[in-house]
């Protein structure tokens, strides 16, 4: 659930500001390999530092001793957020380097599953039924958010269903430990070709750790007790600290932004993320099935920005399978289904879902789960 500008990340020895480009977002794996909700999945939470690397200033790859890097972190975080250095030091003294987190982050990427294998991981009858029950239970709050933001209630519910099984599985690691581990002991493969990416990812998590101090101070959270995924994502929507700071909303007006127990805040924050980060269009379509003219090659972009007009796509052989309003732009989507290639056109609201997780299949799973929750028949996978 998932952040956004990689602002002034604290480096191993210097300070480097890297602004994330507007396209790639949350999934750090930059692939369609599925993530396990709450344990391995990074929702709006983690921006992809490798995506920013192309435009980011170079980083110093010279190793810096742990004690030096940690001391610089304390100094820089205190100056950046006006937090007493003694408080940061005392808190870090209670943080733990967790080997299971290093192991999890070191795992080789799974093979990219085809759509017909990927979809059942996120869409089952139990998850559909659970989503319908969750929507019915919280219909009042969800409909208020839908009316205010234009983000459909079923889409908000589908995100929570995919991320945390409707809040039942929000993660078991202390967020402080997760971020401390990845900020100072991010695993190294020993491959020189991967070193820059690994350093940038460590810097990303170091920045998230700094933001955790600001977040817990501002929202009056106990930094020693909050739990989340092994990557540090938190709450029902799995927000990283930067996303929490930038996009969380006080939905019930109590003066706090609580993404752990306040449904009003959770629903409002997910919708706010879609609107502000993804440019959600009220009443706009998400995706429609399409056909590709025989003999034409699929056009499969990687960032899902809907920049092609229907005329552009027609010239490439694509036709929407149902009426589409004039003037819309879209991106073509190709899925490897059980019966062969499946074609779709994704619009601005599909792009908005990919800001939560870069995977085209993640976005399609959320969309189709939302449709099933709303009572629509699922298309074949």
Closest CA to 352 of 267, 290, 286, 266: 286
Res 223: pLDDT:
98
Res 18: pLDDT:
26
Res 300: pLDDT:
85
Strand order across the beta sheet in which 308-309 lies: 308-309, 329-337, 340-346, 287-292, 318-320
Res 192: pLDDT:
95
Q: What is the mean pLDDT of residues 262-278?
A: 98
Burial of 222 (0-12, 13-18, 19+ CB in 10 A): exposed
Q: What is the pLDDT of residues 63-77, one digit of tens each?
A: 999 999 999 999 999
Res 45: pLDDT:
41
Q: What is the pLDDT of residues 192-248, one digit of tens each?
A: 999 999 999 999 999 999 999 999 999 999 999 999 999 999 999 999 999 999 999
Q: What is the pLDDT of residues 135-170, one digit of tens each?
A: 999 999 999 999 999 999 999 999 999 999 999 999
Percent of the chain beyond pLDDT 90? 81
Task: Choose the weakest-confidence range: 14-23, 156-165, 265-274, 322-331.
Answer: 14-23
Res 39: pLDDT:
39
Q: What is the mean pLDDT of residues 324-339?
A: 95
Is 154 one of the catalytic residues? Answer: no
Contact 356, 366 (CB under 8 A): yes
Percent of the chain beyond pLDDT 70? 86
Task: Judge whether residue 306 has pLDDT over 90.
Answer: yes
Per-residue pLDDT band for 301 (boundaries 50, 70, 90) equals confident
Of the residues 46, 154, 163, 219, only one is catalytic, namely 163
Res 109: pLDDT:
72
Res 44: pLDDT:
55
**Average pLDDT over all residues of the chain:** 87
Q: What is the pLDDT of residues 353-373, one digit of tens each?
A: 999 998 999 999 999 999 999
Q: What is the pLDDT of residues 81-103, one digit of tens each?
A: 999 999 999 999 999 999 999 99
Angle 47-181-35 from CA coordinates, rounded to 5°: 45
Q: What is the pLDDT of residues 246-261, one digit of tens each?
A: 999 999 999 999 999 9
The span from the CA of 257 to the CA of 48, in Å, is 25
Instruction: Please identify which residue in the block is written with the tokens 């975080």.
Output: 77
Q: Per the structure block, which two tokens stand in for 5?
A: 């500008």
Res 378: pLDDT:
95
Q: What is the pLDDT of residues 11-63, one digit of tens each?
A: 333 222 322 333 323 332 223 333 444 434 445 543 343 344 456 788 888 99
Res 1: pLDDT:
52
């Amino acid at each position: 659930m998932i952040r956004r500008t990689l602002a002034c990340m604290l480096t191993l020895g210097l300070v480097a500001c890297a602004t994330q480009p507007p396209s790639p977002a949350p999934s750090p794996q930059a692939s369609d390999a599925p993530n396990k909700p709450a344990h391995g999945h990074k929702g709006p939470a983690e921006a992809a530092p490798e995506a920013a690397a192309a435009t980011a200033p170079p980083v110093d790859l010279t190793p810096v001793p742990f004690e030096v890097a940690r001391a610089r972190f304390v100094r820089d975080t205190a100056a950046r957020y006006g937090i007493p250095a003694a408080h940061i030091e005392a808190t870090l003294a209670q943080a733990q380097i967790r080997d299971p987190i290093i192991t999890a982050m070191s795992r080789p990427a799974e093979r990219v599953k085809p759509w017909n294998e990927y979809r059942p991981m996120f869409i089952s009858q139990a998850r559909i039924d659970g989503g319908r029950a969750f929507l019915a239970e919280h219909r009042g709050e969800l409909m208020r958010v839908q009316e205010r933001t234009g983000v459909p209630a079923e889409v908000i519910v589908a995100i929570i269903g995919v991320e945390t099984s409707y809040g039942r599985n929000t993660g078991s690691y202390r967020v402080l430990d997760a971020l401390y581990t990845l900020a100072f002991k991010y695993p190294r493969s020993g491959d020189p070709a991967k070193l820059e990416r690994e350093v940038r990812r460590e810097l990303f998590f170091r920045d998230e750790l700094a933001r955790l101090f600001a977040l817990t101070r501002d929202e009056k959270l106990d930094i020693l007790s909050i739990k989340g995924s092994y990557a540090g994502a938190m709450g029902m929507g799995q927000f990283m600290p930067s996303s929490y700071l930038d996009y969380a909303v006080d939905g019930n007006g109590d003066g706090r932004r609580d993404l752990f127990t306040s449904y009003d805040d959770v629903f409002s924050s997910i919708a706010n993320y879609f609107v502000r980060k993804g440019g959600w269009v009220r009443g706009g379509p998400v995706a429609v099935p399409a056909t590709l003219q025989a003999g034409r090659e699929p056009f499969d972009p990687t960032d899902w920005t809907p920049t092609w007009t229907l005329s552009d796509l027609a010239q490439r052989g694509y036709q929407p399978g149902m009426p589409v309003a004039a003037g819309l732009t879209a991106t073509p989507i190709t899925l490897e289904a059980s019966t062969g290639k499946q074609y779709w056109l994704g619009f601005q609201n599909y792009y908005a879902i990919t800001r939560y997780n870069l995977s085209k299949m993640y976005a399609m799973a959320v969309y189709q789960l939302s449709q099933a929750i709303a009572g629509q028949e699922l298309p074949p996978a």
